[in-house]
Amino acid sequence: MAMTNAERQAKWRARRAESNPAVMHYRKPRDRRSAARRWRDAVATLSELQGAYQDWLDNLPEPLVNSATADALRTICGLDLTEIEAVDPPRGFGRD
């Protein structure tokens, strides 16, 4: 005797509940930017973060001025990024 649609669906759901659902793996899209472009983007990100940390340090509450957090923020804000910003990485493979 053939199963009804409801029986077939109940059987499928029970089988599905017993087993682990299939794990879906998605590939991360490939970064197609050039190495020089990625370098410039990374340096820009560092500069933005340093500015955000400077704002955080400037607005730090008085009780935290002498804390480890303030020391870390001062260290980050004290880094000189001008040398890194001035670097222009080589294009490589004869494309100079």
- 34-78 pLDDT per residue, tens: 888 899 999 999 999 999 999 999 999 999 899 999 999 999 999
CA–CA distance from 63 to each of 37, 66, 67 (Å)? 42, 7, 8
pTM of the model: 0.62
Per the structure block, which two tokens stand in for 88? 């222009």
If phi over 0 gives left and psi between -120 and 50 gives alpha, with beta otherwise, what is residue 48?
Answer: alpha
